[in-house]
Amino acid sequence: MPSALGEYFQDDDGSLPEIELRFAQPALLVAALEYLFGLPGAYDASRDTACVWNLIHDREEPYRSPQDARRVASGELAAFHRLLRAAQVDGCVLPDLGVFVSGEELILDYRMGPQWGESEIVALLRLLARLRKRGAQVAVPWWGESGERAFADAIAGIDAGRSAAN
């Protein structure tokens, strides 16, 4: 396990740590959401029971697709949460990721625990590096100042093509 990041993934303390992905334009956010749910093996585990809140008509309606993020950005829908399951990055299946969609950001949350080995953490870092290339500003404020530094170093290693395992 990447030693500098292990403490942010190892022990399930019941919390759901968050990774923030901010976008300058709604179209970039929508494209990132489509990218996430378009990863090999990925599916929306909340799809069958999920609804969104239409702010204009003041009513619940079925979730349609990642394109609903456009409707959040326009103010038509309230922010919503999805559950991304079985997404693969370079052949590694990621543990479940929650995806909260607001007008200008996606917030990924995850359950800490033994499902996060070295390969899963590295795959997540690769995914985040790819999302940065798609316009995301990535931050982990939940991790605190030292966690932000460790995260920035790990992402820089991924961006430079090195393994995050050092």
Instruction: Using alpha carbons, select from 155, 108, 106 the residue that is nearest to residue 133.
Output: 155
Contact 92, 120 (CB under 8 A): yes
| Rounded percentage of the chain residues whose pLDDT exceeds 70 | 94
162 pLDDT exceeds 70?
no
Domains held by the chain: number: 1
56 occurs within a structural domain? no
Q: What is the pLDDT of residues 104-153, one digit of tens each?
A: 899 999 999 999 999 999 999 999 999 999 999 999 998 999 999 999 99
67 occurs within a structural domain? no
> Model pTM?
0.90
Give the confidence band of 165 by pLDDT, cuts at 50, 70, 90. very low
27 occurs within a structural domain? yes
The residue-averaged pLDDT of 91-110 equals: 96
142 occurs within a structural domain? yes
CATH number (domain holding residue 25): 3.30.70.1400
pLDDT at residue 122, as a whole number: 94
Counting Cα atoms < 13 Å in the Cβ hemisphere of 34 gives 13
Give the confidence band of 65 by pLDDT, cuts at 50, 70, 90. confident
Q: What is the pLDDT of residues 20-64, one digit of tens each?
A: 999 999 999 999 999 999 999 999 998 667 799 999 999 999 998
51 occurs within a structural domain? no
58 occurs within a structural domain? no
DSSP state of 76: S
Full domain range(s) for residue 104: 6-44+80-159
13 occurs within a structural domain? yes
Beta strand segments in the chain, E: 18-22, 43-44, 51-54, 59-62, 80-85, 88-89, 92-93, 97-101, 105-109, 137-139
Q: How many residues can be counted in the chain? A: 166
1 pLDDT exceeds 50?
no
106 occurs within a structural domain? yes
